[in-house]
Structure 1
Amino acid sequence: MRVTDNLTTIQQMIEASCQRSGRTVEEITLIAVTKYVTIERTKEVLQAGITNIAENRDTGLSEKQVALDDPAISWHFIGQLQTKKVKKVINQVDYFHALDRLSLAEEINKRADKVISCFVQVNVSGEESKAGLPPDELEMFIQQLTAYPKIKVVGLMTMAPFTDDESILRQVFRRLRELRDQIQAKGYKHAPCQGLSMGMSNDFHIAIEEGATHIRIGSSLVGTDKLR
């Protein structure tokens, strides 16, 4: 299906979730995850009016930025970033969604030419296969980030378990919102922490109802026509 057709369905789901939770669609930033699709397919995303685009590899990011070269795009880097690749990525993106360790914060602070808007990744579910800080280490980590003036914590990010059990999904998303609220209440200048990056193709409607501000949509938007 065309991206525009998929987007219509997704927008309808976003509107329904917002209505159920007393929110407005303006509160939701839809991020198109294009890491597995071609440049041509990504162009369809732009033509559909989506300007927030996410990649998780430095090569994929650079290839698409060169090909698209559109100042209207806000670039998001999601997934794990090795410290040795920070210098290739960090000044090319507007948002980084996976800050989870001090060694990475130190390298970002060293390489960045500007203040970087970061989401701190939290492993709310506790799954060993997922990256992110344990919830009980979050506040100390946020405090330690004061040593890195080029990092601004704009929110928290998590990945929920891949399950059809809605109660589990809600529990994870709700917990991240509670953690966000706790950090926000501290009034840290370097960590206004207003955003919640949570929810993907299979669960974004639930994430919105639990407070998501940024949803990361891949397969249900751009399809599964993989590059490799």
Structure 2
Amino acid sequence: MRLVHRHSLEEKNKEDSGLIIQQLQQNIENIQCRVDKVCQISHRSIDSVQTICVSKSVDELTTKAVVDLGVTHLAENRTEKFLKKYQALESYPSLTWHFIGNLQRRKVKDVINKIDYFHALDTQRLANEIQKRAETSIKCFVQVNISGEESKQGISPEEVNSFIQDLKKFDKIEVVGLMTMAPIDATVEELKYYFSGMKKLQTQIASKKLTHAPCTELSMGMSRDFEEAIECGSTFIRVGTDFFKK
């Protein structure tokens, strides 16, 4: 009886796993379809937008499943979770890792040489710690609080130029772009206002042709608002919920 029961459990587990994979595949296709559509409407190349899978809400097995389905850009926002995922997926050398959350200075040494992009640079003290710990130049996004919300981190738009200018002394930091998060309750009109403002700011900095800060990229847009972000010029979108919804 136990053998039959175990066999039936194994079959059920396989069936459940198959359904999960099927749902993940459908989610990936839906996201890509939406990206393709807004790129077409906005007269942008599909290749000009990189979708990052934010895997912070799922375990290592589910993260591995999306990687097996072709996802190559992953993001985490907590040091401990990132390190667990990084170790679990060490056999996938083609992965590009993004760290998108607040990075405590005392944990910089644990993370900075394992990631490809850091999306939340917003203080000189953090920049100094990255400079001290990084073994190679790190691609960084300066985080901007475009809406001025007190609950959000990031520097104000008015501070961006001087902040980036001050980063010139750090040869281990390359400012590849700007990053922001729109208010969770923003209307479509408000989203476009904030995202367009970020695009203008990014373009302004890029026009300076700074060696340490080419600033050609924009990291903005999540599951709820990535279409508006792409329409306004985002080049990296950070999608979590829509990858793993059931």
Aligned match for 2:190, one of 159, 168, 172? 168
Q: Alignment RMSD, CA only?
A: 1.0
Identity %: 48
Q: Does 1:64 align with 2:85?
A: yes
Residue pairs, 1:108-187, within 5 angstroms: 108-163=130-185, 165-187=187-209
Counterpart residue number, 2:40 = 19
SS at match of 2:101: coil
- What is the rounded CA distance, in whole Å, between the counterparts of 2:153 and 2:80 in structure 1? 21
Q: Which has the larger radius of gyration?
A: 2
Of 53, 58, 65, the residue aligned with 1:37 is 58
Normalized against structure 2, the TM-score is what?
0.89
How many residues align? The count is 224
CA distance in 1, matches of 2:244, 2:68: 12
Tell me, yes or no, if structure 1 residue 209 matches structure 2 residue 231.
yes
Counterparts of 1:108 and 1:144 in 2: how far apart (Å)?
14
Unaligned runs of 5+ in 1: none
Equivalent residue letter for 1:30 = T
Q: Give the aligned residue type for 2:197.
A: R
Counterpart residue identity of residue 32, structure 1: C
* TM-score when normalising by structure 1: 0.96
3-state SS in 2 of match to 1:92? coil
Give, as a single letter, the amino acid of the residue that structure 1 aligns with 2:194. Answer: V
Offset at residue 164 of structure 1 (A): 5.2
Taking the aligned partners of 1:61 and 1:210, their CA distance within structure 2 comes to 30
| SS at 2:113 equivalent | helix
| Alpha-carbon shift at residue 114 of structure 1 (Å) | 0.5
In the TM superposition, what is the alpha-carbon distance from 1:79 to its structure 2 partner?
1.1
Q: Which has the higher contact order (CA 8 A, sep 6+)?
A: 1
d(CA) in 1 for partners of 2:24 and 2:182? 25
Paired letter, 2:147: S
Partner of 2:105: 83
> Take 1:25 and 1:49, find their aligned partners in 2: how far apart are those partners?
17
Secondary structure (helix, strand or coil) at the match of 1:190 reads coil
Q: 2:118 corresponds to which residue?
A: 96
Which residue identity lines up with residue 16 of structure 1 in the other structure?
K
1:122–1:156 CA contact under 8 A, matched in 2: yes
Q: Is the contact between residue 45 and residue 222 of structure 1 (CA under 8 Å) also seen in structure 2?
A: no
Distance 1:78 1:105 in 2: 15
Q: Please state how far the C-alpha of 1:61 moved relative to its aligned partner.
A: 1.0
User: Any runs of at least 4 consecutive aligned residues in structure 1 with deviations exceeding 4 A, and if so which?
Assistant: none
Per the TM alignment, residue 18 of structure 1 is displaced from its structure 2 partner at its CA by 0.5
Task: Check the 8 A contact 1:122/1:135 in 2, yes or no.
Answer: yes
